[in-house]
Amino acid sequence: MLLGGLWHGANWTFVFWGFLHGLYLVVQRLTEKTYAALMQGLRIPTLLRIAINISIVYFFTCLAWIFFRSADFSIAMKVISGILSLENFTPHSIINKFVFLKGVLLIGLLLTVEWMNVKFNFLQYSTQNTWFRAIAYAAILWIIVLLGTFGSSAFIYFQF
């Protein structure tokens, strides 16, 4: 993973991004049996366990991406402290928190869809019912428009 960070550029933030991903893999491998036993011991339902696992991976992946996108460590730390800070509610910080909230809502929506798919087998139902499929596609497009981010930011790999 360190080599993956170096491959992205000669900046220590890229190396640290790779290091974090490698560290995550090591921690996951070292704790997976204990974590699984804990989840079973707490009798957490499978779907909730999946939601927890997805949320943990999402959180740590986003944390690593802060370093990937930052020009240096001081900027990365400012971003992290800005995320954790609830003191400065400037218009800019409120917009960023709204973007974060949109992400959380989207994750919740996707988890709900996954739960409904497991519970009601929507994939099989949608192949048999054209109206259901059309409504589902329309709902997906509406959600993309509602929660999507449409801006003119350049594709990240254009900088390499």
pLDDT digits (tens, 9 = 90+) for 83-99: 777 666 566 666 667 77
User: Which pLDDT score, from 0 to 100, does residue 75 have?
Assistant: 93
Sorted by where each begins, the domain ranges of the chain are 1-84, 87-160
pLDDT of residue 74 exceeding 90, the answer is yes
**By the 8 A CB rule, do 1 and 19 touch?**
yes
Cα–Cα distance, 61 to 154 (Å, whole number):
21
User: Which pLDDT score, from 0 to 100, does residue 120 have?
Assistant: 78
* Mean pLDDT calculated for residue range 111-123: 77
> Could you give the 3-state DSSP secondary structure of residue 89?
coil
Cα–Cα distance, 4 to 15 (Å, whole number):
8
User: Which pLDDT score, from 0 to 100, does residue 73 have?
Assistant: 92
What beta strand segments (E) does the chain contain? none
